[in-house]
Amino acid sequence: MKNIVLKYIAIFIFFATSCNDDALDRFPLTSVSNETFWNSENDLIVYNNNFYNFAKSNAMRLLNGNHEGANRNGQYSLDGMTDNDVRSLSFNPNHVIIRSGQITSENNPISFGWNNTCFSFVRSINIGLANYDKADIPQQTIDQYKGEARLFRAWVVADKVSLYGDYPWIEEELNITSEELFDSRTPREEVMAKVLEDLNFATSNLPDDWGDGGAPGRLNRWAALLIKSRICLFEGTWRKYHGGSNAEMWLTEAANAANEVIENGPYQLYSTGDPLHDYNAIFQKSNLEGVDEVMYWRRYEQGVVANSWQIYYYVSNATKNMVEDYLCIDGQPITMSDLYQGDSDFEKVFENRDPRLRQTVLHPDDVDYYNYAGLGGTDAQIPNLLGMTGDWVSLTGYHQVKHVNQEQNVFFHDGYTPCVVLRYGEVLMNYAEAKAELGTISQADLDKSINLLRDRVGMPHMDLANIPVDPRYVDDGVSPLIVEIRRERRVELFAEGFRFDDIRRWKQGQKMQKIDYGIRWDEANRTKIDPGNTTQLDYAVEPESGIEYIIPNKGSDFENPVFEEKHYLWPIPVSARSQNPNLGQNPGW
């Protein structure tokens, strides 16, 4: 058995990394060749297994990227690049660079940007696609593995297109002498047409269930439909707000893919009838087998493969802007509701608000429930600010508890909380937004999407005939309905890494230009929360309200975020252009 495993590992290394036939001389595989390998379904399984390893690497963000060891660029941590979340200058400098607009064309802004690993990934996929048909198994079975490969190719290329626009489309195995290596980038619309072909093949040929028990197993057709809805929603809204053809076609594809999961898929929102805890519950579990909301997840185990994101959320700090987007329990924004108690006292912020706020930001009464002190080894008061007593302190006063696992009293790089990669809640959000952007949304559409999310937390339904008009967003250039759907998306998917892409596709970069504030820090609050005056944080008067609030990282480049027109797309790195000058550069860089 050991020899068989080593054989398959060596085969993958050969097919994924060899550049020409001379590479055979590097491996002692005298009995294995391209002609002798592609025979059985097991061969295809083993070959495709390695796509999952590629997708989980630090150079990707497909399966939520890499949260293992000290890596900090996984999907869960990406809200730190936006107005949702503030990080310390030293803990994740890549996110600070992006948030403060200090990106340059000298190198990648972050590890999952332009990288050779992506091209190696696509190359290995193309090798598989050129050889699967050699297997002596039914064509339907072969097409399942082709679908899996094409799903990954579509996903990784669409992600790069979202960051760089025009991007090389490669669907054949290239070698170091291939002239195509020096081609210019393929135009965005041509690339995305190919991506859609891959997505359609995958959603037509992947099985509904691989028979793996979802533990977590392989990506099935339902997962492919969610990925398709995500990619098509991005592309449709990008073209609608940035310019481009066929925006409605992409939005229709997004809506139809999501609707197929809603109408025929085996998934439903996780709910036990406890609106005060159910929203955050799936992110606290140590095992996600049998959780119907989770469509794909990653398993971790102490001593085998562990993760680090407990520390991400101890140093993650929700912003005042984020906290203020949670509605009151009457379904109205805080700017319009008589139920809003204001922020003169920290606890008042949570009163009469969407229960998802208290399941996302730590309330002082919930420290024991979330085992927050136990995880950090500190019995500090909440809010606990930088400079005050305790190991785990906040830069804004808004400690995050979404993803904090009360069962595991482990920390740093030995966490075993599962990673939710794809969940049904996103399907519902994608469907509602696509239908709203198309202008065809009905009350029935809201009832089978957003209002199910609201039911879980006991919030009033979104009523198409009575959409609030929040004065804070009247200048966004979209209808009040789309404003509210975007707000719902921000709240529901907070700390899951969507905000950066959402702001870019909506062309709402002005939201990234606003100063991030923390909790109210007028004299009364300073005296109550920090009577010893030990905090190291600064504060300033917010111009709109005339009230003093904490400003995290005051005096640094991070204090005044920068987002220019050119930041909607990232620059092609110097290293890539030096190897291939025909790649060109994105506007403004």
* Dist CA 253 CA 232 (whole Å): 6
* Dist CA 17 CA 23 (whole Å): 9
Tens of pLDDT, residue by residue over 459-504, are 999 999 999 999 999 999 999 999 999 999 999 999 999 999 999 9
Range of the domain at 249: 217-299+418-512
Q: Where are the alpha helices (DSSP H) in 290-394?
A: 309-314, 320-323, 355-358, 372-376
- Assigned domain for 52 exists: no
Helix (H) or strand (E) holding 294: strand 294-298
Residue 434, C-beta contacts closer than 8 angstroms, at least 6 positions apart:
229, 232, 233, 236, 251, 252, 254, 255, 258
Most confident of the ranges 285-289, 345-349, 407-411: 345-349
- Assigned domain for 556 exists: yes
Q: Are 414 and 227 in contact (CB under 8 A)?
A: no
Portion of the chain with pLDDT greater than 70, in percent: 89
Q: Are residues 359 and 384 in the same domain?
A: yes
Q: Are residues 310 and 399 in the same domain?
A: yes
pLDDT at 36 over 70: yes
- Assigned domain for 198 exists: no
pLDDT band for position 410 (50/70/90)?
low
Whole-number Cα distances in Å, 279 to 276, 366, 465: 8, 15, 27
DSSP-assigned letter for residue 462: P
Least confident span in 233-247, 375-389, 539-553: 375-389
Q: Are residues 312 and 333 in the same domain?
A: yes
The pLDDT score that the predictor gives to residue 17 is 45
Structure tokens, 80 = 């730190």
- Assigned domain for 51 exists: no
pLDDT at 148 over 80: yes
The pLDDT score that the predictor gives to residue 374 is 65
Q: Are residues 519 and 412 in the same domain?
A: yes
Q: Are residues 391 and 475 in the same domain?
A: no
Number of domain units in the chain: 2
Residue 503, C-beta contacts closer than 8 angstroms, at least 6 positions apart:
82, 83, 509, 511, 512
Neighbours of 370 (CB within 10 A): 20
The pLDDT score that the predictor gives to residue 10 is 44
The pLDDT score that the predictor gives to residue 4 is 38
pLDDT at 13 over 60: no
CATH code, 225: 1.25.40.390
Examine residue 216 and say whether the peptide bond preceding it is cis (omega within 30 degrees of 0): yes
- Assigned domain for 12 exists: no
pLDDT at 550 over 50: yes
- Assigned domain for 167 exists: no
- Assigned domain for 58 exists: no
The pLDDT score that the predictor gives to residue 180 is 82
- Residue 415: CA atoms inside 13 Å, Cβ hemisphere, count? 29
pLDDT at 315 over 80: no
Average pLDDT, the chain: 89
Query: Once rounded to an integer, what is the mean pLDDT over residues 49-67?
Result: 85
pLDDT at 536 over 80: yes
The pLDDT score that the predictor gives to residue 313 is 66
* Dist CA 245 CA 548 (whole Å): 47
DSSP-assigned letter for residue 212: S
